[in-house]
Structure 1
Amino acid sequence: MSTATSTVYDGPFAPILLTFVDDALVHVDVAHDGLDIARATIAQRLGVMPEPDTGAPHGALAQLDEYFAGRRRTFEIPLDWRFVDGFPRAALEATRRIPYGEVASYGEVAIMAGSPGAARAVGTACARTPFSIVVPVHRVVRADGSIGEYGGHPEVKHFLLDLENGVAGADRLRSPA
């Protein structure tokens, strides 16, 4: 029988709920709408309420600390892909190959994922990712270089891109342009 646990990370822009099944990360929820909604959503998707845990497997909390301090460029956390398959998974796997501090367009990611012309599908995969931040969908931008909506929170995408590019003041959020 699988064990589901969740822990909260005090993110710089909102609490982040990390949910694990048998020590693999199954979902990251930047809880802009609150932790209660995030918990209810993941419980519904998993069919069970994850047990609260103050830690996280594989040093996930320490890895997030390192990332937000600018000392980590990739995450080394096993992922449970149960909520993603087919082309969306290929698209998310492709985003993992975008180097830290760089960006790629939705069209470029579609090519990397083996489906040229599937830029819109890449956008959908990024919007629905269960692994926000850990799988760097924030590095995917529009063909014209604009960043897009990022789940209705473009200021978070600006923050993450600024953080990765060492922009002064990246420790605080800025309003969308």
Structure 2
Amino acid sequence: MRTTLYTYLQSPIGPLLLAGEGERLSHVGFPQGKGRIAPRDDWQRDDGAFSEARAQLTDYFGGKRRTFELALQPSGTAFQLAVWQALKDIPWGTTISYGELARRIGRPDASRAVGAANGANPIPIIVPCHRVIGANGSLTGFGGGIETKKFLLALEGAAGTQPDLF
């Protein structure tokens, strides 16, 4: 059995927890909000872990990267995995509604279930759940908090967002 490693990345939205096995990320945790996670007792801290993820996230926050090329290992149901895969297809700097995301996975009547799966995304930012908004354009719930969602969308230049610095 492999040990889950974790480390932290200092970012403009606070320290992000990165965790997984080897270089395969299974978690990105926010410093606040419902997406905040703490290391489990059986996890091992290794500040040398996830060097490529740290480099790519640093580039993202610096405006130098629009997509991620990382080994990911999210754990979820088949439905959740389908939603998370579809999230990765939302282009940088754009937003879509939960209903549109449901249509994209072939489940047009499942926007609430898509919303729940979106909210359970264990690898936010890299799997860009922040790019999903309400049908009326409202910024709905987000694991890192609405201010973090606003910051990420503004960083990407998404229409209708204003940058707020922490």
Per-residue CA deviation, residues 85-131 of structure 1 (Å, 9 max, x unaligned), is 22111111111100000011101111111211111111111111100
Counterpart of 1:124 in structure 2 is 116
Counterpart of 1:65 in structure 2 is 58
For 1:4-153, list aligned pairs within 5 A: 4-32=4-32, 38-39=38-39, 43=40, 49-57=42-50, 59-81=52-74, 83-151=75-143, 153=145
SS at match of 1:72: coil
Identify the structure with the greater helix proportion.
Answer: 1
- Stretches of structure 2 that go unaligned for 5 or more consecutive residues are none
Query: How many residues were matched structurally?
Result: 163
Letter of the structure 2 residue corresponding to residue 124 of structure 1? A
Per-residue CA deviation, residues 123-176 of structure 1 (Å, 9 max, x unaligned), is 111111100111000000111111112137101000000000089973714xxx
Offset, 1:68:
0.2
- Stretches of structure 1 that go unaligned for 5 or more consecutive residues are none
Would you say the 8 A contact 2:20–2:27 is kept in 1?
yes
Counterpart of 2:3 in structure 1 is 3
Q: Distance in 2 between matches of 1:22 and 1:116?
A: 37
Higher relative contact order (CA closer than 8 Å, sequence separation 6+) = 2
Offset, 1:32:
1.3
Distance 1:19 1:156, change over 3 A: same
Q: Distance in 2 between matches of 1:149 and 1:166?
A: 17
Per mean C-alpha deviation after superposition, the further-off stretch among 90-99 and 56-65 is 56-65
SS at match of 1:38: coil
Distance 1:160 1:109, change over 3 A: same
Displacement over 3 Å in runs of 4+: 166-171
SS at match of 2:142: coil
TM-score w.r.t. the length of structure 1 is 0.84
Would you say the 8 A contact 1:31–1:38 is kept in 2?
no
